[in-house]
Amino acid sequence: DARVNRILDTTEPLVIGHRGACAFAPENTIPSFQLAIEQKADLVELDYYLSADKTPFCIHDKTYDRTTNANQQWNAKKTKIAAKNWADIASLDAGSWFDAKFAGVHLPKLDQAIEAIQAGSVTLIEHKEGDAESLIQLLKARDWTDKLVVQSFDWEFVARCHELEPSLAIAALGSDALTAKRIAPIVDKVDVIAWNAKFVDRAAAEMVHKHGKKLFVYTVNNTQQAKELVAIGVDGIITDRPGEIGAAIRK
Ligand code: G3P
Ligand code: CA
């Protein structure tokens, strides 16, 4: 697809909206994704888990506490994500915790989220839990395999996605020293290395580029830091503030 190819081929720095534009709207919800599109994000990132009855849906944490009203709704703290069926999850309020003006916003199913993002940008799907087979099946059913990017810290999952769908654009996530040895097991199976910005310097960027791969960094909300990272060769900035960061790093 032209849009994902443009992203993988461009030499322009890319702006990736983290959980949407989560500085300004409740993370991993449709309003947050739409805001990231309005702020001209080249890609929009989301996180997904599976419900007990195997519906993939968007949320970041391992429990519902921080980003929903689950505590009140279910009268229970620290409920694990996979403990609930989608019918129960669908009725949670995932907006009020952020701002009263988002009251009644629900957690989106993964396919609803992708649909909303693809309308104006390109999805960067972050897998948190679930098997590669069912994700690839969903992407194939909706003809999305060549139109978006998938990433995970779980490199077995990453490798399995590559095996099942070699044309899928994939990123390997990491958050420790970024060395040739560290990425050796995965680098040939991915298009992008997506790394914690704390561990990225010019030498690391050169090493990733020597492999012919792009380097994205997370999570950068400071415009000066974003400019410096682009100056040392970083190809994409994952940020809660895509509008501001885009204005700072685009020519
Ligand atoms: O996109 C990379 C970044 O989102 C990974 O960390 O914890 O925010 O999912 P986390
Ligand atoms: Ca994420």
- Domains belonging to the chain, first-starting first, are 2-48+123-249 (3.20.20.190)
d(CA 216, CA 15): 9
Neighbours of 185 (CB within 10 A): 12
pLDDT reading at 1 higher than 90: no
47 lines ligand 1 (CB under 6 A): yes
14, 43, 47: residue to mutate for ligand 1 pocket, most atoms within 8 A of CB: 47
pLDDT reading at 3 higher than 90: no
Nearest CA residue ID for atom 3, ligand 1: 218
238 lines ligand 1 (CB under 6 A): yes
218 lines ligand 1 (CB under 6 A): yes
Per-residue pLDDT tens for 169-218? 999 999 999 999 999 999 999 999 999 999 999 999 999 999 999 999 99
Neighbours of 117 (CB within 10 A): 27
pTM equals: 0.98
27 lines ligand 1 (CB under 6 A): no
Of 159, 157, 150, 165, the residue nearest 187 (C-alpha): 159
In sequence order, the β-bridge partners of residue 151 are 126, 171
Per-residue pLDDT tens for 112-161? 999 999 999 999 999 999 999 999 999 999 999 999 999 999 999 999 99
Atom of ligand 1 nearest to the CA of 47: 9
Atom of ligand 1 nearest to the CA of 45: 1
216 lines ligand 1 (CB under 6 A): no
pLDDT reading at 83 higher than 90: yes
Identity of the residue numbered 225 = Q
45 lines ligand 1 (CB under 6 A): yes
Of 27, 170, 178, the residue nearest 94 (C-alpha): 27
**Whole-number Cα distances in Å, 120 to 73, 114, 136, 226:** 34, 10, 22, 23
pLDDT reading at 55 higher than 90: yes
